[in-house]
Amino acid sequence: MSAVEYDEHESKFMRKAKENPFVPAGMAGCVAIVAYGLFKLKSRGNTKMSVHLIHMRVGAQGFIVGAMTIGVLYSMYQDYVVKPMAEQKALKSK
């Protein structure tokens, strides 16, 4: 990968992160949950490995779904509450 391609991908990621800031938060949370699950792997006791991995996966997926839900709610708030209020204020000031 050349430096130009790297810059294009980096700018694309930053643009997407600005458009939807909860995606990087969801990714970071997923990585944190997986890291915690791997850390707790050695002290899992009698729990089967497959059950431990399933719990870790469910936790990570839950965090991502929660972050996406908050992102959608925030986007709806911006589109249906903040923008109409700003438009009304602009009309009143004319």
Residue 62 has what pLDDT?
92
Q: In the structure encoding, which two tokens stand for residue 8, read together?
A: 């294009």
Q: What is the DSSP letter of 45?
A: T
- Residue 20, sorted as left (phi over 0), alpha (psi -120 to 50) or beta, turns out to be beta
- Give the residue with greater pLDDT, 63 vs 94: 63
Please state at what angle helix 22-39 crosses helix 3-19, rounded to 10 degrees: 100
Q: What is the pLDDT of residues 1-48, one digit of tens each?
A: 565 566 666 777 788 777 777 888 888 898 999 899 888 888 888 889
| Tokens 């909860």 found at | 22
pTM value?
Answer: 0.69
Check residue 7 and give its pLDDT. 65
- Would the pLDDT of 72 be above 70? yes
Distances (CA, A) of 18 to 11, 23, 37, 51, 87: 10, 10, 29, 37, 23
Give the separation between CA 52 and CA 50, rounded to whole angstroms: 5
The predicted structure's pLDDT at residue 81: 92
